[in-house]
C-alpha cells in the first residue's frame, strides 16, 4: 500500500520546500513500517509491556441503569501509561524514529498530554526532545511542564499568535525546517501534512481493534454507537476506523461546544457554522477562520479540544456522512464529569467528558440490549487545576493560597 495524501477533498501536504525531502523520507519510512507486519508486533509488544495495553473496556453498569437505555461501555485509554491515548501514537512514532536513525524529536502540545507522552517516549528511547507549547497552555498546565522537564525535555513556551496549540505547531515546523537532519517531528494528532493524518490514525487504530474484540466478548455483539471527542481527531479515528464498515454501528464525534455554538466561543469545526474549508499548518480541512482566511480564536474548557482545524480524514467522513458530529458545551461537560465520578469512580479528562455528554443524551433512546462505547481518551486528574477551578472549589482555593503564602516567604 502507499500513503493516501487526500481524503476526498481534504488533506494534502502544504509544506515549505525545505521539508520536501524530509517528508519524502518520512513517507518511505512510514510505508516500510506500515507494510512490515513485524513492526505492528513490535509496537503492540511495546505497548503491552510498557503502557499497559490492551486497555480495558469497562461496563459502566451504574450509568447504564441510571439512564435506563443502552449498556454503556467505556474504553479506558486513561489507563495508558501517561494517562491518555496520546501514548499510542507517540510510542509508535518512537519506534519509527529508531528505524530512521534520528536522535532528536520535537513536538507541539496543547493540553500537555502529547508533550508528556513525547517526553516519556524520548526518555525511554534516549532521544533529545524539545516540546513547543503555547504560553497560555504553559500557564494553564504547569504540572505537565514540570514533568516534561523532569524527564529531560526542553519545553519552549510559544509567545506568538494566540499562544495556544496552533502556534506551537507553527513553531515546531520552524524548528523542523532548520533541524530536519537529525530531528523527527512527532505530530500529536491526525492532522498536518501527509503522511501524518494516516500514520497517526493507523497507530491509534489499536484502540478500535481492541474495543471491537472486547465488546463482542463482553456484550456478545458489536455496539450500536461509538462516541469519541474530537480535537485534532486522533482518539476518535483510533476507535472509529475499525467500525467504519460495520453497518450496525453508528459513529459519533463530539466537538467542543464551549459557551455554545452561537457564542463564537467554541471549537466546533464540523458541527457548527463558523468553520470553512481552508489550508493551514500543512493541510486542507475545515478551519475556524474569518472570511479573509485568518484563523479565529477558539474556546473550550478543555485545552485538548480547542484547535482550529480537524483531521482531514474526519472532514471527509463528515462530508460523506459516515460519522455524525455533535457538540458539548463546557457546562454539560462539567455535569457529565460529575456524574461519571459519582456513579463509576472514574475521572475522565475534560476532553473525554465531551464524548460522555453526547452518549448520555442518547443512551436512553436505545434499548437495554444494545451497547454503546465511549472512548475515554484520558484521565482527568491531570486537570485538577482546571476542574477544581471550574467547580469554584473553596478549599482548593484556600489550599493554593496557603501554598503560595509558604512560597512567598
Partner 1 sequence: MKLEELIRQRKTDKDILLMTHIVLGYPSFETNREVIREMVENGVDCIEMQIPFSEPMADGPVILKANQDSLARGTTIENCLNFGAEMCSTHDISFLYMTYYNIVYKYGEQRFLDQAVKAGIQGLILPDLPPEEGADLCKKAKQKGIAPIMIYSPTSTNERMEELADYGAGFVYCTARKGVTGSHSKLDSDFKSYLERCRRATSLPLAVGFGIQNRNDIEVLIGAADMGVVGSQTIKLVDQHGSEAVGPFIKELFGNT
Ligand X SMILES: Cc1ncc(COP(=O)(O)O)c(C=O)c1O
- Partner touching 20 among a copy of itself, partner 1, ligand X, none, CB below 5 to 8 Å by kind: partner 1
- Partner touching 349 among partner 1, a copy of itself, ligand X, none, CB below 5 to 8 Å by kind: ligand X
Q: Find the catalytic residue in 77, 108, 210, 255.
A: 108
* Contact present, 229 and 351 (Cβ < 8 Å): yes
Residue 17 within binding range of partner 1, rule CB under 8 A = yes
Catalog residues that contact ligand X under the rule CB under 6 A: 84, 86, 110-111, 113-114, 189, 229-236, 304-305, 349, 351-352, 377-378
Q: How far is CA 73 from the centre of its chain?
A: 19
**Residues 264-285: b if buried by 16+ CB within 10 A, e if exposed:** ebbbbbbbbebbeebebbbbbb
List the one residue from 342, 364, 368, 369 that touches a copy of itself (CB under 8 A): 342
Q: What are phi and psi of 406, to 5 degrees?
A: -60, -40
CA geometry: angle at 89 spanning 249 and 379, to 5°? 75
CA dihedral over 140, 356, 76, 305, signed as positive or negative: negative
Residue nearer to a copy of itself on the CB measure, 123 or 261: 123
108 flagged as catalytic? yes
Task: Compute how many other C-beta atoms are within 10 angstroms of the C-beta atom of residue 262.
Answer: 11
**Choices 117-125, 176-184, 231-239, 278-286; region in contact with a copy of itself by CB under 8 A:** 117-125
- Partner touching 17 among ligand X, a copy of itself, partner 1, none, CB below 5 to 8 Å by kind: partner 1
Residue nearer to ligand X on the CB measure, 310 or 371: 310
**Choices 4-12, 14-22, 289-297, 337-345; region in contact with a copy of itself by CB under 8 A:** 337-345
Reported for 57-65, long-range contacts at CB under 8 A and 24+ positions apart, including other chains, are 57/210, 57/211, 57/214, 57/215, 57/218, 57/373, 58/344, 58/346, 59/218, 59/219, 60/340, 60/343, 60/344, 60/346, 62/343, 62/344, 63/339, 63/340, 63/343, 63/344, 63/360, 63/363, 64/363, 64/368
Residue 207 within binding range of a copy of itself, rule CB under 8 A = no
- Partner touching 68 among a copy of itself, ligand X, partner 1, none, CB below 5 to 8 Å by kind: none
Residue listed under C-alpha cell 464525534 = 253
In angstroms, what is the minimal distance from the CB of 265 to partner 1? 18
List the one residue from 195, 208, 282, 348 that touches partner 1 (CB under 8 A): 282
- Partner touching 368 among partner 1, ligand X, a copy of itself, none, CB below 5 to 8 Å by kind: none
List the one residue from 2, 24, 25, 139 that touches a copy of itself (CB under 8 A): 139
Helix H segments across 68-155?
Answer: 86-100, 113-125, 135-140, 142-150
Residue nearer to a copy of itself on the CB measure, 21 or 402: 402
- Partner touching 403 among ligand X, partner 1, a copy of itself, none, CB below 5 to 8 Å by kind: a copy of itself
Q: How far is CA 41 from the centre of its chain?
A: 23
- Partner touching 305 among a copy of itself, partner 1, ligand X, none, CB below 5 to 8 Å by kind: ligand X
86 flagged as catalytic? yes
Closest listed residue to residue 96, CA positions, set 173, 49, 39: 39
Cell numbers standing for residue 247: 453497518
In angstroms, what is the minimal distance from the CB of 238 to ligand X? 7
Cell numbers standing for residue 405: 503564602
Q: What are phi and psi of 55, to 5 degrees?
A: -75, 150
Site string for a copy of itself, 79-108 (x = CB under 8 A): x-x-x-------------------------
Q: Determine the Cα–Cα distance for residues 208 and 57; give it in Å rounded to an integer.
A: 11
In angstroms, what is the minimal distance from the CB of 221 to ligand X? 26
**Choices 89-97, 207-215, 288-296, 319-327; region in contact with partner 1 by CB under 8 A:** 288-296
Q: How many residues does the chain have?
A: 409
Name the DSSP class of 363.
Answer: G
Q: Determine the Cα–Cα distance for residues 233 and 260; give it in Å rounded to an integer.
A: 20
Interactions with partner 1, residue window 180-209 (CB under 8 A): 180
Return residues touching partner 1 (CB under 8 A). 12-22, 160-161, 166, 170, 173-174, 177-180, 276-282, 287, 289, 291-295
Active site residues: 86, 108, 377
Contacts with a copy of itself by CB under 8 A lie at 48-52, 55-59, 62, 76, 79, 81, 83, 119-124, 126, 139, 142-143, 145-147, 150-152, 218, 338, 341-347, 381-382, 384-385, 387-388, 391, 393, 395-397, 399-405, 407-408
Amino acid at each position: 500500500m502507499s500513503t493516501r495524501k487526500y481524503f476526498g477533498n481534504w488533506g494534502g501536504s502544504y509544506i515549505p520546500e525545505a521539508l520536501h525531502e524530509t517528508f519524502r523520507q518520512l513517507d518511505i519510512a512510514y510505508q516500510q513500517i506500515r507494510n512490515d507486519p513485524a513492526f505492528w508486533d513490535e509496537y503492540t509488544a511495546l505497548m503491552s509491556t510498557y503502557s499497559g495495553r490492551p486497555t480495558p473496556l469497562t461496563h459502566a453498569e451504574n450509568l447504564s441503569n441510571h439512564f435506563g437505555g443502552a449498556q454503556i461501555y467505556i474504553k479506558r485509554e486513561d489507563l495508558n501509561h501517561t494517562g491518555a491515548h496520546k501514548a499510542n501514537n507517540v510510542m509508535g512514532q518512537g519506534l519509527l524514529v529508531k528505524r530512521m536513525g534520528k536522535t532528536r524529536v520535537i513536538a507541539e502540545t496543547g493540553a500537555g498530554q502529547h508533550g508528556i507522552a513525547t517526553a516519556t517516549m524520548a526518555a525511554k528511547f534516549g532521544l533529545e526532545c524539545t516540546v513547543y507549547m503555547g504560553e497560555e497552555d504553559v500557564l494553564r498546565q504547569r504540572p505537565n511542564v514540570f514533568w516534561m522537564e523532569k524527564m529531560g525535555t526542553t519545553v519552549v513556551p510559544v509567545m506568538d499568535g494566540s499562544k495556544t496549540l496552533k502556534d506551537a505547531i507553527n513553531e515546531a515546523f520552524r524548528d523542523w525546517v532548520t533541524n530536519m537532519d537529525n530531528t523527527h517531528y512527532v505530530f500529536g494528532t491526525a492532522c498536518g501534512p501527509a503522511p501524518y493524518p494516516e500514520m497517526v490514525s493507523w497507530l491509534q487504530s489499536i484502540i478500535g481493534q481492541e474495543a471491537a474484540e472486547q465488546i463482542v466478548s463482553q456484550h456478545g455483539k458489536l455496539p450500536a454507537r461509538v462516541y469519541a471527542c474530537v480535537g485534532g481527531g486522533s482518539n476518535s479515528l483510533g476507535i472509529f476506523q475499525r467500525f467504519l464498515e460495520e453497518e450496525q454501528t453508528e459513529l459519533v464525534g463530539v466537538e467542543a461546544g464551549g459557551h455554545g455554538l452561537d457564542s463564537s466561543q467554541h471549537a466546533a469545526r464540523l458541527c457548527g457554522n463558523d468553520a470553512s474549508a481552508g489550508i493551514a499548518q500543512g493541510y486542507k480541512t475545515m478551519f475556524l477562520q474569518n472570511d479573509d482566511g485568518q484563523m479565529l480564536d477558539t474556546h473550550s474548557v478543555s485545552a485538548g479540544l480547542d484547535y482550529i482545524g480537524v483531521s482531514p480524514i474526519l472532514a471527509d467522513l463528515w462530508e460523506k456522512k459516515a460519522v455524525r458530529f455533535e457538540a458539548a458545551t463546557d457546562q454539560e461537560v462539567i455535569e457529565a464529569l460529575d456524574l461519571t465520578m459519582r456513579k463509576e469512580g472514574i475521572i475522565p479528562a475534560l476532553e473525554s467528558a465531551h464524548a460522555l455528554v453526547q452518549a448520555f443524551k442518547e443512551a436512553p433512546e436505545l434499548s437495554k440490549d444494545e451497547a454503546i462505547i465511549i472512548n475515554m481518551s484520558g484521565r482527568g486528574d491531570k486537570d485538577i487545576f482546571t476542574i477544581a477551578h471550574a467547580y469554584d472549589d473553596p478549599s482548593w482555593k484556600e489550599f493554593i493560597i496557603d501554598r503560595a503564602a509558604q512560597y512567598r516567604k
